[in-house]
Homo-oligomer: A and B are copies of this chain.
Amino acid sequence: MAIDPESGPPLSTLTTDAEREDVREVADILARKWSLEVLTQLQQDGPYRFNELKRQLGVTPKVLTDCLRELTETGLVERTVHSESPPHVEYDLAERGYELQQIAAEMAAWTGAADAAPTVLVVDAAVPTNVRFSGWLSEGYTVERVSEIAHLSGEQLERADVVLCHHHQLLDDRTDLLDRLEDGSTAAGVVHVTDHRQSLATHDRAVELVEPVLKDELLQAVRTLLPDGAGPERAESSSATDRREERSR
C-alpha cells in the first residue's frame, strides 16, 4: 500500500459493517441527482416553498417530492405546514443538513486539491525504481501508478498531466492510447526513461531521460512538460475550478 510513513498515522479505519453501512447510507443521499442541489439552494436562500424550489431547480414534481421526502425523513430538511390561508408548505435546511454540507465541502476540497496538483502517472517502473520516482514526486504532485501501459484506461490518461514510463514498454503491444501518447495528441506530456539513449522524443511534449536519472533531472523534465511552466510551487495559485476548465477545453 502506498502510504508515506512520515505522516503520523491518523489511520481511522472503518472496521465494522455497521460503520460501512452508515457511510453507504450517507453517500447514497449525496450521490442522488438532486439532494445536494436542494440542500445548497435551501442554505443559500432560506426557506422555499415546493413550487418555488421546483422552478428554481427545473425538476419534475415527482422527483422533487421523492427527494424532499427522503431529506425530511433523514432529518436533513425541515418541512413546515403553514395553515393560514392560503395554506402552504415550507422546506428549510435542518441542523443536520448544514452539517452534511460541511462534509460535502470537504469532499469537494479533496477532489479539488488533487485536481490542483499536477498529476504524474508512473507507468510500470520496476518496484525499486517506482518507489524512487514516486518519492521524488510526492511533494507537489499527485502520483498514480499503473503496472502495464497496455492496461492504462482513458480516464487515467485524462487525469494525467505527465506520463512517466520506461521506454521498453512503448515497444510492446500497441494500443490506441499508446499511439496517442507517442504522437503527442494527448494533453499529457511524456517522460521516457531508457537505459541507453535512443532518441525517442518524437514530439515536443516528450522528453527522454537516460538512467541513471537524478532527482533534479527528473523534476526539471516534468516541469518543462507542464502547461506554461506551472509547477508544484505555482500549483497553489491555480484553483481547482481553473484547472478543470483548462482540461475540459
User: Using a CB–CB distance below 8 Å, which chain A residues touch chain B?
Assistant: 1-5, 10, 12-16, 18-20, 22-31, 33, 36-37, 40, 42-44, 46-47, 72-75, 78-81, 92-96, 98-112, 114, 142-148, 151, 153, 155-156, 159, 240-241, 244
The A interface, classified by DSSP as helix, strand, loop or mixed, is helix
A14 in contact with B148 given A106-B106, A108-B22 (CB within 8 Å): no
A24 with B36: CB separation less than 8 A: yes
Question: Chain B residues near A1 (CB, 8 Å)?
Answer: 42-43, 46-47, 92-93, 98, 102-103, 106
A108 in contact with B14 given A20-B36, A73-B155, A153-B73 (CB within 8 Å): yes
Q: Which residue of B lies closest to A19 (CB)?
A: B108
A156 with B2: CB separation less than 8 A: no
In the complex, A156→B72 CA distance in Å?
Answer: 9
Give 7 nearest A-B pairs by CB, closest first: A27-B30, A12-B105, A27-B31, A80-B147, A28-B31, A19-B108, A27-B27
Instruction: Enumerate 9 A-B pairs (CB-CB under 8 Å) in ascending A order.
Output: A2-B78, A2-B92, A2-B95, A12-B101, A24-B31, A27-B104, A72-B153, A73-B155, A103-B107
This chain's copy number in the assembly? 2
Question: Chain B residues near A74 (CB, 8 Å)?
Answer: 155
In the complex, A80→B19 CA distance in Å?
Answer: 29
> Per a CB cutoff under 8 Å, which of B15, B19, B24, B98 touches A3?
B98
Name, among A12, A27, A104, the residue most crowded by chain B CB atoms within 10 Å (CB to CB). Answer: A27
B12 with A109: CB separation less than 8 A: yes
Question: Chain B residues near A16 (CB, 8 Å)?
Answer: 241
Question: Chain B residues near A26 (CB, 8 Å)?
Answer: 107, 110-111
In the complex, A74→B19 CA distance in Å?
Answer: 23
In the complex, A92→B3 CA distance in Å?
Answer: 11
> Per a CB cutoff under 8 Å, which of B3, B107, B156, B240 touches A75?
B156
Question: Chain B residues near A5 (CB, 8 Å)?
Answer: 95, 98
> Per a CB cutoff under 8 Å, which of B18, B40, B142, B143 touches A241?
B18
Shortest beta-carbon distance from A106 to chain B in Å:
6
In the complex, A30→B110 CA distance in Å?
Answer: 14
In the complex, A104→B13 CA distance in Å?
Answer: 9
